[in-house]
Amino acid sequence: MTVAAQMLDTYPKDLGGIDREKLRTCIDACTECAQACTACGDACLSEDMVAQLTKCIRTCADCADVCDTTGRVLSRHTGYDANVTRAVLEACAAACTACGDECEQHASMHEHCRVCADACRRCEQACRDLIAGLG
């Protein structure tokens, strides 16, 4: 059981009809993606062809920040605002799409980009699944 699942299980109030499993999946995917993007951007900086990876590094940094923020927003339930949550999830899905697309371009040469692209795709899907459940 992840920490996100444990925290959701201990929340003292109702989550207002949000699917707990989709919420947990999304929080965990955001955390995982933020870590993958941070590590991928750093690995890109260590590559001999770093100049050709400038856009990838920037995209990874942006995606890591957005995913980190999204995971934190999703972890707060008191005073929940569906409009803010939806906007943050849309931004996260967009950042994950952009980063996943960029990393896929380098995945055949850099394994860290393949791993990152996969994490981005999982996070994007988790965000979209949660959005669909918000109504």
pTM for this structure? 0.94
pLDDT tens by residue, 71-112: 999 999 888 888 999 999 999 999 999 999 999 999 999 999
Give the residue from 72, 74, 67 showing the smallest Cα distance to 38.
Answer: 67
Q: Report the residue count for the chain.
A: 135
Please tell me the distance from the alpha carbon of residue 24 to that of residue 8, in angstroms, as a whole number.
8
| Cβ contacts of 39 within 8 Å, gap of 6 or more | 112, 116
